[in-house]
Structure 1
Amino acid sequence: MEEMSTSKPEKPTTRSARTVSASVARRALALVAVGAVGAAAVTLLVTDGFDQPEKITTHSVAGPATTGPVSASSFGSADPGTCLQWTPTDDPETDRQDLAQVSCAEPHRFEVAKDVDMSAYPGIEFAPGSAYPGAMRFSQLRDEHCIDSVVDYLGTKFDPNGKFSVGLMFPSQTGWATGERTLRCGVQQSSNTGVPQEMTGSVLDQDQSSVWDVGTCIGINQNVPSDPVECSQPHAFEVASVIDLQQQFQVGIPNEADQDAYLEPTCTDAVNAYLGSDTALRDKTLTLFWSTIDVTSWLAGSRQVTCSIGKELDEGGFATITGSATGDILINGQPPVPPPAAPDGRALPTPLPGAAPITPGG
């Protein structure tokens, strides 16, 4: 059998974010990862304030695609809750050939929700000798059968904006020709381009918040975030902190404004601690941004958000950073140039619109 991994099939995964430079909120970013069978897209929503956002759509590398066949003896059978692991390869003839059941406490790439025997369905589409479905048809079958299967498996607590996505394993052409008609629905943790990542522990026991571990760097392709990479490799941004909103909002569902009001100082302090200096973010000309949780995700139990640092481009998207922000970095191949230091003397507050200019001693 083969596996086809996708982003959330019901709707695009949306991660809204507010940005600040140093401790001043000045930008809003929204990352929308749109997975498809043949391509993945990321929409950047950028604004100079918090009104009238401008949408800029760019495309990343090709998204999830079918891979080489997995033999029936390797694929075996799996009950709901079974976790599967394999070693990814670039060769479609060998990828997933070592597919095996493992304990969910061990690293794995797929958690089974349900096996669906399509031969039990009436009609000629799945009858013996029927034509092999194409990738788009398998995508439709995933939507038709796997979404409900995953929601039922998780007890309706599936976060469509979270870090887990609905996945499908389906027969290879060889398996289909020999009569294999089983579809395997499950849950996986996909990267921005839909590649299944290793995860540990059953999804049933996890917070599904769309977060990466602190210190993770997210790669870049054509100014768009891609998959996690070593921070020594070119990347779009780096995760500096993971914040549990439950500690602040213990009653009710916080709206975005309340989350922003809490996360601006919280993320600023966390990033300053991560970088080891209150001036490092400014000196390295980086942008701080954070994610928020919407009502649907909150009701599904998601509570965690990330504070991340990258370099926003004026034309949209991200600059290419090399090196961890905790040390020396290059931005688009050049070391950052710190802005001029503020002049000595007491800092003056910004006057309200229409107010008389503020003068020292006034």
Structure 2
Amino acid sequence: MVGMSSEAPSHPRRRRVLKIALAAALCGGVGAATYAAVSPDGSSLIVPDHDGDDTSEQVAFSDADAGDCLNWTQDGEVTRDIVTVDCAEPHRFEVATREDLSQYPTSEFGEDAPQPDLERQQQLTEELCVSPTTEYLGGKLDPTGRYTISPILPPAEGWAEGDRTMLCGVMVTDADGTAQEVTGVAAGSDQSRFSQVDTCVRATDDTATEVPCDQPHSWQVTKVVNLGDNFTGEWPSVEDQNTWLAGICDAAAVDYFGGGDAGDEALYQSTLAPFWTTMSEDSWNAGSRTVNCSLVKGTEDNTGFAELAGDVRGDFTIDGAAPEQQPERNPVL
């Protein structure tokens, strides 16, 4: 859930903590009721390398079972070299369960049937994947977290040879739906969707996408914060989170510019404001704890973000122009 600051910091010279209310999905990822599905015939997640021997790919797919992790080489829209790996190593898919579509109570997936299209895959995900995958995760799925419930189908050659396996599991995708490499098992992990320090993020409608800082973006991340460092037990209200994060993210903003009086002055001259995300109750109950502090420039009506370009610690622009020179301030007493 995207948070908004609710209180100004106590520092008498800096009261530009931004107040912006945004859609809850902005920093979240897909919700628990939306699932990534992959279509066959060139746009499938699993596309064999037709120039080589794909037998190993079919074996890796067909032998995969609950708790296994799969990885592959992503080459544009084509995936190659599908292998089963230890989940502690980088991987793109974690298997929660396997379903045999040949046992589906219709003749829909018979010997000559084509692979299901994207719409049908999504229906199958809801029917066959959601419940067992959620159970595999211990009943805890962050609705705005980084993991997406997804199905994958056999490589085209495997399907043509009669393999009707559908693997259900979880993956982390980027804004384009491409599976990203992660490490560790999903169950019991912090499912928060957050960005690393120095990352620039562009917010468009209800989507937040990491981009190079020289491209137009909405905020730049200054700190990764674990809410568990301050809160234990039941979910802390957004008001309580805001109260604590106001001080944390205000200090992070000054430190990001070098700290001390020089960092404070650089922040002032940047005209940017601290901003942070907060955690929803559903996300907290799923075990998520991580949020971001960032720097942004609000629009004049405080309903959105100005467009930044460039690293804020160097030469950067706000809506195409350099930050306006700020008047000299009285010293702190």
TM over 0.5: yes
Of residues 289, 303, 313, the one that matches 1:326 is: 313
The partner residue of 1:227 within 204, 209, 212 is 209
Kept in 1, the 8 Å contact 2:46–2:152? The answer is no
* CA distance in structure 1 between the partners assigned to 2:36 and 2:143 by the alignment: 20
Partner of 1:54: none
Bigger RCO (CA 8 Å, 6+ sep): 2
* Pair 122,19 (structure 1): closer, same or farther in 2 beyond 3 Å: same
CA distance in structure 1 between the partners assigned to 2:36 and 2:298 by the alignment: 28
1:27 is aligned to: 19
Which residue number in structure 2 is paired with residue 285 of structure 1? 271
Q: Residue 194 of structure 1 aligns with which residue?
A: 177
Show the counterpart of 1:208: 191
CA distance in 1, matches of 2:150, 2:6: 32
Superposed CA deviations along residues 313-337 of structure 1, whole A, max 9, x for unmatched, are 4475544333222333233443222
Distance across 1 between alignment mates of 2:323 and 2:205: 18
Q: Which residue of 1 aligns with 2:47?
A: 69
CA offset at residue 87 of structure 1?
Answer: 2.4
In the alignment, which of 6, 18, 33 is matched to residue 5 of structure 2? 18
- Root-mean-square deviation (CA, aligned residues, Å) is 3.1
Offset, 1:119: 0.9
CA distance in 1, matches of 2:55, 2:176: 28
Deviation at 1:263, TM superposition (A): 1.1
Q: Secondary structure at the match of 1:235?
A: coil
Residue identity opposite 1:30 in structure 2 = L
* Distance change >3 Å, CA 314–CA 179, structure 1 → 2: farther
Task: Say whether 1:242 aligns with 2:224.
Answer: yes
Report what 1:119 is aligned to. 102
Match of 1:88 among 53, 71, 74: 74
Q: Secondary structure at the match of 2:56?
A: helix
Instruction: State the partner residue of 1:299.
Output: 285
| Structure-1 residue corresponding to 2:40 | none
Gap runs ≥5 in structure 1: 1-13, 40-64, 348-362
Q: CA deviation at 1:296?
A: 1.3
Q: Using the alignment, how far apart are the partners of 2:257 and 2:332 within structure 1?
A: 26
**Could you tell me the TM-score, scaled by structure 1's length?**
0.73
Distance 1:82 1:68 in 2: 16
**Residue 67 of structure 1: CA displacement?**
4.9
| Offset of residue 242 of structure 1 | 1.5
1:247 and 1:68 mapped to 2: Cα distance? 40
Which structure shows the bigger proportion of residues in strand conformation? 1
Please state how far the C-alpha of 1:268 moved relative to its aligned partner: 0.7
Residue 307 of structure 1 aligns with an amino acid whose one-letter code is: C
Displacement of 1:240 in angstroms is 1.0
* Cα-to-partner distance string for 1:257-301 (whole Å, 9 max, x where unaligned): 111111112211122112221233332222322111122111111
**Deviations 1:230-277 (CA, angstroms, capped at 9, x unpaired):** 334443322211112222222432111111111112211122112221
CA distance in structure 1 between the aligned counterparts of 2:314 and 2:287, rounded to whole angstroms: 35
SS in structure 2 of the partner of residue 242 of structure 1 = strand
Report the identity percentage.
35
The total of aligned residue pairs comes to 304
* Mapped contact 2:189–2:287 kept (Cα < 8 A): no
Which of 257, 264, 267 aligns to 2:249? It is 267
The 10-residue stretch of structure 1 (264-273 or 211-220) with the greater mean CA deviation from structure 2? 211-220
Structure 2 distance, partners of 1:181, 1:126, is 7
The alignment status of 1:161 with 2:147, answered yes or no, reads: no
Cα distance between partner residues in 2 of 1:160 and 1:38: 13
Provide the rounded CA distance (Å) in 2 between the counterparts of 1:144 and 1:286. 47
Q: Is the 8 A contact 2:18 2:298 kept in 1?
A: no
1:340 to 324, 327, 331: 327
Question: Letter of the aligned partner of 2:326 in structure 1?
Answer: P
Q: Could you tell me how far 1:227 is from its partner in structure 2? A: 3.2
Amino acid at match of 2:283: S
The aligned amino acid for 1:261 is T
Q: Deviations over 1:11-37 (max 9, x none)?
A: xxx434437885444412334257578
